[in-house]
Structure 1
C-alpha cells in the first residue's frame, strides 16, 4: 500500500527549508538565499516515489510580523500547520537555540499529527560538537516521532529522512499527478527567480524592502521556437533605493536581468526577453491592494476526497 500526504516544513528564517525541498526533489522549486525571510509564500514541492507521494509545503520562516505582508506570511503558516498530515521541524544545528526556537516549539506543542525533528547543517564543524545538547533543547520540551540529523546542502541524511517521511504518512494513493514536482504557476516562479537574482546582489542594502511585480507575461511561437516576453518591475520602498538596484550607468540592473534571464530560460526551456525596471512604491508592504496584485503562489488543485459529493 502506498503512503501519501501533506507535510509542513517549519522553522526559523534561514534554517534551510528551501534548500531541503530542492534537495529532496532534485531540482529547484524554491529560491535560496543566505538572507532570512527569503521565502514569503507557501511553496509546494511534490516528491513522488514507488512507495507514495509527499506534498511538501516550504513555509515562510517563523518570525515576528511587522508589516501586513509579514502578517499574511504568518497566517499562511498557521493555516498550513492545521491541515497537514506531518510536520517537519527544522533547525540550524550550527546555532545555539534561543527565544525564536521557543516560539517555534509553541506552534507544534499541541500538534495532532506526528512531528519530525531535523537538525540541519550538521556538516559544519561547530555543529557536530554541540549536536546532542542542541537536540536535547527540543526533545525535553516535546515528544518527536524521530530525530533525523541532515545536511540539506550536501545531501547527508536525506535517505533516512525519506524513509522517516514515508513511514509516517498515512496510507493512500498520490494526491497529485506523479509527474508534478511543484504546483507553482510559471508566472510566480518567474518572479521568484528574478527576486533571487536581486537578493544575491543587493540583499545587504535592501534585505526586506524589495519585491518583484510582474506586469506582463507573453508566450509567442517563432521560427526559432518559443519566446517568452516578460515585463517586470523591481519594487522598492523609497526613491533613494532605486539607485542601489539600477547601479552606476545601469550596470546593476543589467547584471540582475542577465542572471534572471538565464535562470528562467534554464527552468522553462524557452528563450526569454526580459524587460526589467525599477519603481519606488512607498509602504508597499502595507498596501493590501498592491499585495493582492502580486503573483498567486499555486495553480489551484483539490486533493482527492475534497471535491464534495453531489446530491
Structure 2
C-alpha cells in the first residue's frame, strides 16, 4: 500500500500553438516515442497522456493539439477544445514557444493562461537553432514582461538541452499523493490508438504539403496471437481521405507510396509493441468527415476521452 507522505503525483499540461515542439518534448522526457511528430503544423490532434514514474514521483504529462485561430472545420474546433480542456485540473502548465518567434497564436494561448490557477513555466524551444545567441536575452526579457511566469527556460526538446532542469522544476510542483497509474504504465491510450497514430505520422512525413488535413486513420482489426517464434500482431488500418485525388496521392505510382508508408509504420509498431507485425493498409474516400461532428466522434475524435 502506497503512503502518500512519501509519494507525489500530478498532472502537467504541455500547451502552445502548432508546430512548436510539444510532442518532441514529451517524447524526450519519457525517453520513448509516444506522441507522433512531423514538420507539419497540427500533427497532434488528440490529448495524449505520457506517464513518467521515477523516485516516488509520478508526473502525468498531457500533450495537446496546437491552439490556433482558424476554426473553419469541425476538426479544428475539436482540436482547440481538446487543448483548452487540458488546462483544467492540472498542477502545472508548460507553455512552449518557438525560439525568437511570437505571433497572434502564441498570444491566443497566453490569453487562455491568464486565469490559470497553477504555475506556468515558459519553455523557449529550439534555442539551438538561433544563429545569433545575443538576440536571446532581450527576447527572454520581452517574454517576461508578458506574464508572471514561474520560470522562463530556454530548451532544445530535440537535443535534450535543459530538459533535466525543466523536469526537476516540474517535479517540485507535484503534490503529495498516491500514484494514479501503475509504475510501468506509460500512457492512457490503447494499442489500437497508437497503431493508428503511427500510420498517420508516416503519411504526414511522406506527403509533406501534398495532402491537406482531411486524412485520418481507423484501425479495423487488431489481433494478437502467440506463435512458436513469438507474438504476432495482425493490424488492418483504413486510411480515410475526402476526395478521389487524395486517394491517388496516398497510394502513389503503382502503390509505391502506400508500400513505403506501411513499411515504416510496421517497423515502428514492432518496436513499440515488441512483437512481429503484419500490417494491412487500405485507402477509402469518405467525403466531408473532417467537418462532420458525428463522423468525428465515430472516428474517435472525442476530447472528453
TM-score range, shorter chain: over 0.9
Cα separation, 2, equivalents of 1:138 and 1:125: 16
How far off its partner does 1:297 sit?
8.3
Query: Does the alignment pair 1:261 with 2:266?
Result: yes
Whether contact under 8 Å (1:116, 1:148) holds in the other structure is: yes
Whether contact under 8 Å (1:116, 1:144) holds in the other structure is: yes
Residue number among 107, 116, 122 corresponding to 2:112 in the alignment: 107
How far off its partner does 1:296 sit?
7.0
Tell me the TM-score normalized by structure 2.
0.93
Q: Which residue of 2 aligns with 1:163?
A: 168
Residue number among 124, 131, 139 corresponding to 1:134 in the alignment: 139
RMSD (CA atoms) = 1.7
SS at match of 2:128: coil
How far off its partner does 1:186 sit?
0.2
Name whichever of 164-173 and 269-278 sits farther off. Answer: 164-173
Whether contact under 8 Å (1:120, 1:152) holds in the other structure is: yes
In the TM superposition, what are the counterparts of 1:90-101 in structure 2 within 5 Å? 90-93=96-99, 95-101=100-106
Whether contact under 8 Å (2:46, 2:301) holds in the other structure is: no
Q: Which residue of 2 aligns with 1:80?
A: 86
Query: Does the alignment pair 1:119 with 2:133?
Result: no
Cα separation, 2, equivalents of 1:18 and 1:209: 21
SS at match of 1:30: coil
Q: Which residue of 2 aligns with 1:43?
A: 48
Residue number among 182, 187, 192 corresponding to 1:182 in the alignment: 187
Cα separation, 1, equivalents of 2:86 and 2:45: 14
Query: Does the alignment pair 1:68 with 2:74?
Result: yes
Whether contact under 8 Å (2:262, 2:281) holds in the other structure is: yes
Cα separation, 1, equivalents of 2:283 and 2:42: 22
SS at match of 1:77: helix
Cα separation, 2, equivalents of 1:126 and 1:173: 45
In the TM superposition, what are the counterparts of 1:190-205 in structure 2 within 5 Å? 190-205=195-210
How far off its partner does 1:51 sit?
4.4
How far off its partner does 1:140 sit?
0.9
How far off its partner does 1:145 sit?
0.9
Q: Which residue of 2 aligns with 1:308?
A: none
SS at match of 1:15: coil
Whether contact under 8 Å (1:214, 1:295) holds in the other structure is: no
Residue number among 146, 150, 153 corresponding to 1:145 in the alignment: 150
Instruction: Provide runs of 4+ in structure 1 moved above 6 Å.
Output: none
Q: 1:265 to 1:196 in 2, by over 3 A?
A: same
Name whichever of 213-222 and 258-267 sits farther off. Answer: 213-222
Name whichever of 169-178 and 128-137 sits farther off. Answer: 128-137
Measured against aligned partners, the alpha-carbon deviations of 1:252-296 in whole angstroms (never above 9, x if no partner) come to: 111111111111111101111111011111111022332223247
In the TM superposition, what are the counterparts of 1:194-273 in structure 2 within 5 Å? 194-273=199-278
SS at match of 2:154: coil
Query: Does the alignment pair 1:58 with 2:44?
Result: no
How far off its partner does 1:127 sit?
6.6
Cα separation, 2, equivalents of 1:2 and 1:297: 32
Tell me the TM-score normalized by structure 1.
0.91
Measured against aligned partners, the alpha-carbon deviations of 1:194-227 in whole angstroms (never above 9, x if no partner) come to: 0111111112101412111111211122233221
SS at match of 2:131: helix
Cα separation, 2, equivalents of 1:73 and 1:89: 17
> Would you say how many aligned residue pairs link Structure 1 and Structure 2?
298
Q: 1:70 to 1:123 in 2, by over 3 A?
A: same
